[in-house]
A and B are shown apart, each in its own frame.
Chain A
Amino acid sequence: MSLRSPLSRVLGKGSAKEGTDHFWAQRLTAAALALLGLWFIISLLLNDIAEYTVLMQWIARPWNSVLLLLLAVTLAWHSSLGVQVVIEDYVHGPFMKVCALVLNKFAHIGVAAAAAFAVLKIAFGAAA
């Protein structure tokens, strides 16, 4: 039996059934980043990535390409969740808040797309 009134059902109010999505995605991406981040830090120490040719060869190795893609996407995802909370905490006024939240999503997807494109371009040997 539901305690919701027929009117609230008609208006589509009430739970959207995704209350824990943000929490869960933040934790999952955090756990993934703990592993990916560790791999990335160790890789930075093991390879002289300031050297262009060294970096290109390192990125082009299949496992490194895949892990870099995962790292870029997971970083952007986790970062967008975090910045979203910061915006929700400090940006007031519905219009400014929505603008900031949309801008946050757009920016993070843009950064992830740029990073992924760069990795794929190098991995497929298209970089000059």
Chain B
Amino acid sequence: MSNPGRPLSPHLSIYRWPITMTLSILHRISGVALSAGLVAFALWLFAASNGVMDYEAFVTFFRSWFGQVMLIAWSAAFFLHFANGIRHLVWDLGYGFEVRQANASAWFVLAVTLVLTLAFWLLA
């Protein structure tokens, strides 16, 4: 190392976390969360098919604070995965790859997620 003053990768002092990376990670996390939600979805139908007793038990659990937190998290995960999934499909069609477009669509997905989640629980 003849020049200790040279910039060294990964340039941590000037590194800025890109919003597109956040969305990529969130897409995977929300997808895994929704896979767990799929079990709850099947349990919901199964409980209903088992009769009113089982269904009441199911509803009671999801009316508890713990159940409500799970439902809110799953709804947010759904809307994020939904909006970002459409973003991915648009990319698959070949549009929106410019850095500015990708950054803008990332923020747009976050905004849509927030609005749809709030709207869903206000209307529910």
- Flag the segment in A2-10, A13-21, A79-87, A94-102 that touches B: A79-87
Question: Of A34, A41, A79, A127, which is within 8 A of B49 by CB?
Answer: A127
Determine if A30 and B45 form an interchain contact, defined as CB atoms under 8 angstroms apart.
no
Q: Does A61 interact with chain B (Cβ within 8 Å)?
A: no
Task: Tell me the count of chain A residues lying within 8 A, CB to CB, of chain B.
Answer: 35
Residues in A with CB closer than 8 Å to B104 are: none
A89-122, CB < 8 A from B: 108, 111-112, 114-115, 117-119, 121-122
Determine if A72 and B85 form an interchain contact, defined as CB atoms under 8 angstroms apart.
no
Nearest-CB residue, chain A, relative to B60: A50
Question: Of A38, A72, A79, A128, which is within 8 A of B45 by CB?
Answer: A72
Whether A127 touches B51, Cβ cut-off 8 Å, given contacts A37-B78, A72-B45, A115-B41, is: yes
- Complex formed: what's the CA distance from A79 to B34 in Å? 8
Residues in B with CB closer than 8 Å to A75 are: 38, 41
- Complex formed: what's the CA distance from A51 to B34 in Å? 24
- Complex formed: what's the CA distance from A38 to B78 in Å? 10
Determine if B56 and A45 form an interchain contact, defined as CB atoms under 8 angstroms apart.
no
Task: Tell me the count of chain B residues lying within 8 A, CB to CB, of chain A.
Answer: 30
- Complex formed: what's the CA distance from A79 to B51 in Å? 28
- Complex formed: what's the CA distance from A44 to B74 in Å? 14
B20-71, CB < 8 A from A: 28, 31-32, 34-35, 38-39, 41-42, 45-46, 48-52, 55-56, 59, 63
Shortest B38–chain A CB gap in Å is 5
Most buried by A among B38, B39, B86, B123: B38
Determine if A50 and B49 form an interchain contact, defined as CB atoms under 8 angstroms apart.
no
Residues in A with CB closer than 8 Å to B98 are: none
Residues in A with CB closer than 8 Å to B56 are: 52
- Complex formed: what's the CA distance from A59 to B47 in Å? 13
Determine if B38 and A79 form an interchain contact, defined as CB atoms under 8 angstroms apart.
yes
23 contacts between A and B (CB under 8 A): A27-B89, A31-B89, A34-B85, A34-B89, A38-B82, A50-B59, A50-B63, A79-B31, A82-B31, A86-B31, A111-B38, A111-B42, A114-B45, A115-B45, A117-B49, A118-B42, A118-B45, A119-B49, A122-B45, A122-B49, A127-B49, A127-B50, A128-B52
